[in-house]
């Protein structure tokens, strides 16, 4: 992989620092629940199809009392897209060389009253440079209070940069996190954006604020619900819902496809799958 330029280095450094803060916040919640669970980190290396080193990443996974399974991955990879896949990537149709760095997080919770969550932000370079990502809440048992709180934090982050961002990116999330073969949304939404390439400094500032919004939104919701009791029927509803989450990630998720097509670490790519699920 070619040496990183200052913008690539700044993005990678931010994603790594955000990972550290999120993992510390999640471990603190486990301590509050009387658990000593902690993240276990596994580094991995990628070989580009050319045979040259293609970067790599670190996969972090924690299994605890509150977080049944949570994965937080950071990767920084580069090289050349293979075959026709390049044509599907913004700016890579004529030149298949690429660079990508980002953070990806999925949390599956032990308590069905605590919503699962996904968050991802990334910076990609082909013949174009852009940021993308977002976050969405996935409650098996939705609470209107939690949904509004989550959306409000991201609305604030968006409005600080452009009043048009939140309605646009919220609708994008609603459209993207949809399971066509089921005819249902994956959860209660959030925001999703891609190909944000107006100005590096402004777009990077917005992407950092998306990370800050996640930290402001999700841990309070976890703390609000994690002591709730649940019934076997509620747990079964959570496991059936997890089956739908797995269907989306395996059939429709673009991030899963990107990881597989670029030779990423299989365990990191499929970290998003729940530890338990049922289909009925």
Mean pLDDT calculated for residue range 72-77: 96
Predicted local distance difference test score (pLDDT) of residue 57:
96
pLDDT band with cut points at 50, 70 and 90 for residue 259:
confident
Predicted local distance difference test score (pLDDT) of residue 91:
80
6-272 fold:
oxygen-dependent coproporphyrinogen oxidase (3.40.1500)
Q: Which two tokens stand for residue 127?
A: 């013949």
Distance CA 273, CA 215 (A): 22
**Model pLDDT for residues 170-179, shown as the tens digit of each residue:** 999 999 999 9
Provide DSSP, 79-134.
Answer: EE--GGGGGGSTT-SS--EEEEEEEEEEEEESSTTSPEEEEEEEEEESSSEEEEEE
Q: Which two tokens stand for residue 22?
A: 């999120």
Predicted local distance difference test score (pLDDT) of residue 39:
98
Which residues does 125 contact at the CB level (< 8 Å), separation at least 6?
8, 98, 99, 100
118 is catalytic: yes
To the nearest whole percent, how much of the chain has pLDDT over 90? 82
> Comparing 253 with 74, which gets the higher pLDDT?
74
The answer, yes or no, to whether residue 165 has pLDDT greater than 80, is yes
Residue spans of alpha helices (H) in 4-85: 6-32
Torsions phi, psi for 172 (to 5 deg): -60, -40
pTM score of the predicted model: 0.94
Predicted local distance difference test score (pLDDT) of residue 125:
95
Mean pLDDT calculated for residue range 203-221: 98
Catalytic residue among 108, 113, 118, 166: 118
Predicted local distance difference test score (pLDDT) of residue 148:
98
Predicted local distance difference test score (pLDDT) of residue 186:
93
Across the chain, mean pLDDT equals 94
The answer, yes or no, to whether residue 226 has pLDDT greater than 80, is yes
Mean pLDDT calculated for residue range 93-104: 91
CA dihedral sign of residues 133, 255, 267, 278: positive
Mean pLDDT calculated for residue range 255-265: 82
Residue 143 three-state SS: coil
**Model pLDDT for residues 42-51, shown as the tens digit of each residue:** 999 998 888 8
- For helices 200-225 and 6-32, the axis angle rounded to 10 degrees is 10
The answer, yes or no, to whether residue 132 has pLDDT greater than 80, is yes
């Amino acid at each position: 992989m070619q040496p990183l330029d200052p913008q690539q280095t700044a993005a990678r450094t931010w994603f790594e620092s955000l990972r550290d803060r999120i993992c510390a916040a999640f471990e603190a919640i486990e301590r509050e629940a009387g658990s000593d669970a902690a993240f276990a980190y596994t580094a991995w290396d990628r070989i580009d199809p050319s045979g040259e080193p293609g970067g790599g990443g670190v996969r972090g996974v924690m299994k605890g009392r509150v977080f049944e399974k949570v994965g937080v991955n950071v990767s920084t990879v580069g090289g050349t897209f293979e075959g026709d896949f390049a044509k599907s990537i913004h700016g890579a149709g004529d030149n298949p060389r690429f660079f990508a760095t980002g953070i990806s997080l999925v949390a599956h919770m032990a308590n069905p009253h605590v919503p699962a969550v996904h968050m991802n932000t990334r910076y990609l370079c082909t013949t174009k440079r852009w940021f993308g990502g977002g976050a969405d809440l996935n409650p098996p048992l939705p609470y209107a209070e939690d949904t509004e709180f989550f959306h409000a934090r991201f609305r604030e982050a968006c409005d600080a940069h452009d009043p048009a961002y939140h309605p646009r990116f919220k609708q994008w999330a609603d459209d993207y996190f949809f399971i066509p073969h089921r005819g249902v949304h994956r959860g209660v939404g959030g925001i999703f954006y891609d190909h944000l390439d107006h100005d590096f400094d402004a777009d990077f500032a917005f992407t950092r604020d998306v990370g800050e919004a996640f930290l402001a939104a999700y841990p309070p919701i976890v703390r609000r619900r994690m002591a709730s009791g649940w019934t076997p029927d509620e747990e079964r509803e959570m496991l059936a819902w997890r089956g739908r989450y797995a269907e989306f990630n395996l059939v429709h998720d673009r991030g899963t496809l990107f990881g597989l097509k670029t030779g990423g670490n299989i365990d990191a790519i499929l970290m998003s799958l729940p530890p338990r699920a049922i289909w009925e």
